[in-house]
């Protein structure tokens, strides 16, 4: 009987410690765990076009290229259809932006994307354009820069 009781107490203790390790404990620990950010995100709205800030992910000299993976664009609008999101790159702040990928995002729904390889040291940005009716589009996007 003592062995069964001891085994049950140890099982409960392991379950509780397992939940605390994975972040299922109090709010203070959960908030501390979310301060580390692996991916990037941006959100907002536009009617005609909008350009994002320039993102520059610089890696060690061993990394030749990186790409954006797991990209998601969640949009809502009062009209149906699609709009264009261009992923643009440039080598330095004096050169022009070059479009490397065009994404047709739905105005109401989720669109997934990945980018082609971007050379290490290049900056990238997102340029969104609404070629149809100029109704407001609310968007939220997230992605993860991934080095090769």
Give pLDDT tens digits for 33-78. 443 447 899 999 999 988 999 998 778 888 899 999 999 999 999 9
In this prediction, residue 58 carries a pLDDT of: 77
Q: Two tokens at 25?
A: 């404990």
Fold of 40-147: Jelly Rolls (2.60.120)
Q: Two tokens at 148?
A: 């090769």
Give, as one character, the DSSP assignment of residue 95: S
On average, the pLDDT of the chain sits at 81
Residues 73-127 have pLDDT tens digits of 999 999 999 999 999 999 988 889 999 999 999 999 999 999 999 998 899 999 9
Give counts: helices (H), strands (E), the chain: 2, 10
Domain ranges, ordered by start, for the chain:
2-33, 40-147
């Amino acid at each position: 009987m003592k062995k069964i009781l001891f085994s049950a107490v140890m099982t409960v203790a392991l379950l509780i410690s397992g939940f605390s390790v994975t972040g299922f404990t109090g709010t203070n620990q959960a908030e501390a765990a979310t301060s580390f950010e692996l991916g990037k995100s941006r959100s907002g709205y536009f009617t005609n076009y909008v350009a994002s800030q320039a993102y520059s992910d610089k890696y060690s000299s061993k990394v030749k290229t990186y790409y954006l993976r797991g990209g998601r664009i969640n949009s809502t609008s009062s009209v149906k259809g699609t709009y264009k999101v261009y992923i643009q790159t440039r080598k330095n702040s004096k050169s022009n932006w070059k479009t490397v990928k065009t994404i047709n995002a739905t105005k109401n729904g989720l669109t997934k994307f990945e980018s082609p390889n971007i050379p290490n040291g290049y900056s990238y940005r997102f340029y969104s354009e609404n070629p149809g009716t100029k109704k407001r589009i609310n968007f939220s996007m997230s992605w993860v820069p991934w080095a090769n």
